[in-house]
Amino acid sequence: MSSLASIRAQVEERLSGRVTAPFTARVPIQQPVLATGIPAIDAIMGGVPCGEITEIVGARWCSAGRKRLQSQLLSVATKDQFCALVDATDSFDPKSARAAGVDLRRLLWIRCSGQGMKAMEQAFKSADLLLQGSGGFGLLTLDLAGISEGFVRKVPLSTWFRFRAVVEKLSAPLVVLTPYPVVGTCCGLTVNLSGAKIRWSDPTTGGPAHARLAMGLDFDVQVGARRSFKKPSQSIRSFSAERQWA
C-alpha cells in the first residue's frame, strides 16, 4: 500500500507542471439542455443541447412527429422565454400550436414566401439575420420540413459551419427540421422520427366513416448521433400525440 502511494507520489511529481491532477477523475462538463417535456426523449438525452444545432429528421409527406416535437419544444421554451421560428414553407399552424401549449405572444414567426429554392433562400437569409442580429431568444427553429429533399441537399456544408459558429456563442439551441439529415458534423444532436401509427376510434375498416375519429398518433424516435457524448443511443422509443378532445 505504501509502495502504491509512493509510486503515485513519484508519478505526480514527474508530471507536475504538465498535468494538473493525473489521478483525479475528470468531471464531464454538464452542457445545459432544453428539456423537450416528452419523457421518451428526455430519458435518452435530457433535451436538446443549448449552443448547438439539433436536427429533427422526418420524411416529407409522412406523419413523422416533427411538428409535434417542434410544438412541444416551443411550449416549453415560451413559458419563460422568447422564441423565433423561421418557417420556410409557411406551414406552422397557430391554432394547433396554441392547443399544444405554445404561448404565441412570445413567438416570433417568420413566414417565408415562395416555393422550393426561393423559399429556402429566404429561410436561410432570415435565419442568418436573426442569428447575427439579435440574441436573447430562448429557442431558434428553422423549419425546412416541407422543402423537398433535393433542395435541402443543395445547402452547402459551409452554411452549417457558419451557423454552428454563431450558435456556439448563444445560450439557445438552434433546432432544424429537415426531411433528410443534412447538417452532418455540425450537428450537436440528430433526432430521427419515423413510423407513425394512427390510432382510430374504430379500427375496423368496415364501420361507418362518419363515426370514426383519428384519436392519436404514435411516433418512433431514434437519436442518431450526439457530439457531446461518446456513445450515441441507438434505442428506438416512441411518443404519441393525442387529439385534444380524445
Partner 1 sequence: MGVAMLFACVFVPCFAVQASVRCEPEQKRLAWSNRPVAVFDGPDSLPRIFACNQQAQIAGIETGITKARAAECQEIVLRKRDPKQEHAAQAALIDCASAFSPRVESTAQGIVTLDIDGTERIFGPVPKLLRLLAEHASRIGLEVNVAAASNPDTALIGAKGFTGTTVIAAGNDANAIAQLPVDVLPLSQAQAEVLDSWGIRKCRELALLPPVPLTERLGQAGLHLQRLVRGEVIRTLVPVDPPLKFQESLEFEDSVEDMESLVFVLNRLLEQISARLVSRSLATDELRLTLGLEIHEDCDVKSNLRQKRSEMFERTLKLPVSMQDTKVLLRLLQLDLAHHGPGAPVKRVTIEARPAIRRFSQGGLFAPLAPEPEKLEVTLARIRGVVGEADEHGRGRVGSPEVLDSHKADEFRMTAFTTEEIKAGPWQDCRNGSITMSMFRPLLAAHVRCQAGKPVHISFAEVSSLIICVAGPWSTSGNWWKQDEAWRREEWDIAIQLSNGVGLYRIFRDLRQNAWFVEGLYD
Considering only residues 99 to 128 of the shown chain, the ones binding partner 1 according to CB under 8 A are: 99-101, 103-113, 122, 125-126
Among 48, 50, 57, 64, binds partner 1 (CB under 8 A): 64
Query: Which contacts of 124-129 are long-range, i.e. CB under 8 A and separated by 24 or more positions?
Result: 124/155, 124/159, 126/86, 127/86, 127/163, 128/162, 128/163
Stretch that binds partner 1, among 7-15, 27-35, 155-163, 235-243 (CB under 8 A): 235-243
Which candidate, 30, 65, 85, 50, places its Cα nearest to that of 222?
A: 65
Q: Does 137 bind partner 1 (CB under 8 A)?
A: yes
Report the nearest approach of partner 1 to the CB of residue 17 (Å): 42
Q: Does 230 bind partner 1 (CB under 8 A)?
A: no
- Count of residues for the chain? 246
Report the nearest approach of partner 1 to the CB of residue 66 (Å): 6
Report the nearest approach of partner 1 to the CB of residue 153 (Å): 16
SS3 153: helix
Q: Does 58 bind partner 1 (CB under 8 A)?
A: yes
Half-sphere exposure in the Cβ direction for 238 (13 Å, CA): 12
Q: Does 162 bind partner 1 (CB under 8 A)?
A: no
Q: Does 72 bind partner 1 (CB under 8 A)?
A: yes
SS3 218: strand
Nearer to partner 1, 2 or 205 (CB): 205
Residues with Cβ within 8 Å of residue 185, at least 6 apart in sequence: 227
DSSP states of 78-95:
TTTS-EEEEETT----HH
Q: Does 194 bind partner 1 (CB under 8 A)?
A: yes
Q: Does 164 bind partner 1 (CB under 8 A)?
A: no
Q: Which residues of 109-141 are buried (b: 16+ CB within 10 A; e: fewer)?
A: ebebeeeeeebbebbbebbeebbeeeeebbbbb
Contact mark string toward partner 1, 38..57, x via CB under 8 A: x-------------------
Report the nearest approach of partner 1 to the CB of residue 30 (Å): 20
Among 35, 42, 46, 98, binds partner 1 (CB under 8 A): 98
Pairing of strands 187-200, 174-178: unpaired
Nearer to partner 1, 48 or 112 (CB): 112
Q: Which residues of 33-68 are buried (b: 16+ CB within 10 A; e: fewer)?
A: bbbbbbeebeebbebbbbbbbbbbbbbbeebbbbbb
Stretch that binds partner 1, among 5-13, 16-24, 129-137, 152-160 (CB under 8 A): 129-137
**Cα-trace Rg, the chain:** 22
Q: Does 169 bind partner 1 (CB under 8 A)?
A: no
Q: Does 90 bind partner 1 (CB under 8 A)?
A: yes
Q: Does 32 bind partner 1 (CB under 8 A)?
A: no
